[in-house]
Structure 1
Amino acid sequence: MLFKYLPSNLLIIFKSTSIKTLVFSLLIIGFIVAFLLDLALGSVSIPIQEVINILLGKEPEKATWANIILKFRLPKAVTATLAGAALGVSGLQMQTLFKNPLAGPFVLGISSGASLGVALVVLTASLTTPTLLNDLGIITDFGLVIAASLGAAAVLGLMLVVARRVQETMTLLILGLLFGYATSAIVSILLQFSSKERIQSYIMWTFGSFAGVTWKQLIVLIPVIVCSLLVAVLQSKSLNALLLGEAYARSLGLTVEKARFSIISSASILAGGITAFCGPIAFLGVAIPHLCRSLFNTSDHRMLIPSVMIMGAILALIADLFSQLAVSQMVLPLNAITALIGTPVVTWVILRRNSQKSFPS
C-alpha cells in the first residue's frame, strides 16, 4: 500500500531492484540444487539426504557412498563450478573489451596455445623412448596440465607484449585470432606425423572433462581461479566505462591501456587455467554473458560479474550431469553437451535482439 505514495521514478527503481534480487536469489538456489544433483546422480545413485550427511561429516548408510562422493564426485563438481564461473567471466570481459557479442574466452588464442602444449607432449611422445617418458612422469595427468599451462602462458605472454604496443583493440583481436590459427596449424602438422595411439590420446583431451581433476590439482587450480575472479570483480568500474567507448573512458580518468592490460591478463589466466586442467570447454564463455544480460536486463558489470559466475557454475554442472546421464554406462564428450546447451541460448539472444530492433517499443 505504501508503494502508491512513492514517486514514479523511485517506484520503478525499487521494483527493478527487487526483481533482480529475487532472480539472483533463485540463481543461488539453482546452483545449490545443481551441485547436490551432480553429487547424487551417476552410475551409482545416492539419496540427496545421504549426500548432505556426507558433506557434513556424518556417517552414511553405505561406506562406499562416502568414497564415491569425497574422492570422485566432489572434486568433479568443484571443478565444474570453477570452470563455469571462470569461462563465463572471461567471456564477459572479452565481449566488453572488444565490443563483440561473439567474442569468447579463447578469442586471444589461449585455448590454441594450451592445445599446442599438450600436442607437443602427447603427439611427439612416439619420437622419444616411452620408458623414459613414463619414468619422468611426462605422460600423466599433471604432465598434460603443465604442458597446457606452458602453452597457454606462452601465447598469453606474447599477447601481453603485443597489447602494450598496439593501441587499437580491434587490431589486438585480429592478431589474437591469427595466433590461434598459427598454433592450430602446428597441431594439425603434428597430427600427421603421430601414431594412432597418440592421436587418440590428444583427441580425448580435446573433448574436455571435469572428471580428470584431482584434489592435488585443485590445490593449484582453486587459488588461481579465485584470485583471477576477484580481480575481475575489481574491474567492474573499468568495464562499465569501456562500454561507453575508450574516449569517454579516458574522460572519466581511466587509463585505458592499463585497464586493457589488466582485463586481458585476468581473462587469459581464467581461460588458460581451465583449459590446462579440463581441456578446451566450448560455448560456455560465449553463451553465459548473453543469458545473464537478458535475465537481468542490465549491462552493469557490478551485477553481471557475480550473476555470470553463478549462472556459469549452474550450466557447467548441468552439462556434467547430462554427459553422464544421457547414455547409460557411457560418458559423452563434455564439449558436445556444452555446444548443445550454448547454441540455443546464443540463437535465442540474437533473434530476440533483432526482433527488438525491428519492432521498437
Structure 2
Amino acid sequence: MRTVTVELGDRRYPIHIAAGLLASAADHLAPLARGRTMAIVTDENVRPHADTLQAVLAAAGVRSEAIVLPPGEKTKSWEHLAGLCDRLLDLGVERGDHVVALGGGVIGDLVGFACAILKRGCHFVQIPTTLLAQVDSSVGGKTAINTRAGKNLIGAFHQPSLVLIDPSLLDTLPLREVRAGYAEVVKYGLIDDPAFFEWCEANGAALLAGDPAARDHAIAHAVAAKARIVAADEHETNGTRALLNLGHTFGHALEAEAGFSQKLIHGEGVAAGCSLAFAFSAAQGIGSGQDAGRVAAHFRSVGLPDGLAAAGIAASGATLVDHMRHDKKMAAGTLPFLLARGIGRTYLDKSVDLADVAAFLDAQPR
C-alpha cells in the first residue's frame, strides 16, 4: 500500500492507495465509526461496491446504512443536497461522525458539501470509484453543487478525514469514464511536469487498456502532485492551486453548453479545454503551435476530444464566453485564465480579454 499525506497542520490526512483496498476498508473505517452506525452514500451504478463495503464492515462489527442516489451530474443539485441532509439527519448523524462518500466526483462533491454544512460541519471519508475522482476530486476538499448559473457555484472547502483509493475498482468502469479520468491525469504533466506528460504519451494507451502497473503509477503520481499543491494553497488564495484549473475554464463552458449532460462528461470537457487553452496560448503568441498540436494529438490518440468539433459543440464564441462569465473565479469583471508558455509551463493570466477568447473560439472548426 502506498500512502500520500496531505499536509494541512492539525487537519492533515492520509490517502491510502492499494488494489483490493475495499476488502480491507474496515481496518481504516472501524476506528472512525465509534460504535455507531456509519452512513455510506453512493449511487445506483456503484451500489454493488456499497454492498461489498457493508459486508466488510458488518464482518468487523460495524453497522452501516446505505443511501443510494441517482447517478449523473444532475444529482449535484439543491434538491439532492436537501434530500441527502434530511436522510443524514434522520439517521442521527452527529458532528463527530464520519460519512462515507463511495462513488465518483458527483457523490464526493455532494457528500462533502452536505458534511460541510450539516450541524455546521461533520466528518467524511472519500472512497472514489472512478479514475477522475481517484486522481483529482477526492483530494483537496473542494465540495459543491451545480446551479442553473453554472457548475460548482455553491460549495465550501471541507477536507476529508481519509481517502481510500482502490485502483481495482476501475476494472468495472466503462471505458468512456476511464478516458474522462485520464484527462485529469494528463493535466498534471501539462501544468508543471513535462517528464510526466512524456510518460503519458508513452503509457497512456496501456493505462486505458487496464495495465495495472501503468494505472497504479499514474494514480500515485497524480495524487502526490495534487496533495503538494493543496498543501501549498488550500483555499486557492496565492495562485498555486489555481493551476489545477487548467482546461476547466474552457471545459466548463463546453459542459454548460451541453447542459451538463452525458453529451459531454467532465473529463471530456477538460481534455477539450486543455487543448483549447494551449491553442489559445499559441494564437496569442504566448506558447508554440507545436506544443498545442502535441497536446491535441495526445488527447486525440486516446479517444478524447481535442476541441469544439470533437466535443460536439457548435455554439458561437460569444455564447461560450457568456457561460464563462458565470465562472466562480470571476473577480471585478475579470476572469483569470490558465495559459501555457509550453508543456509543463502553465501560468495564471489575469489580463485576458474575453473578446479575444470569443474571436478565438469563433475561428475554431465546428
Q: So what's the TM-score if we normalise by structure 2?
A: 0.22
Which protein has greater RCO, CA pairs closer than 8 Å, 6+ apart? 1
Q: So what's the TM-score if we normalise by structure 1?
A: 0.22
Q: Which has the higher strand share?
A: 2
Q: Which has the higher helix share?
A: 1
- Highest Rg: 1 or 2? 1
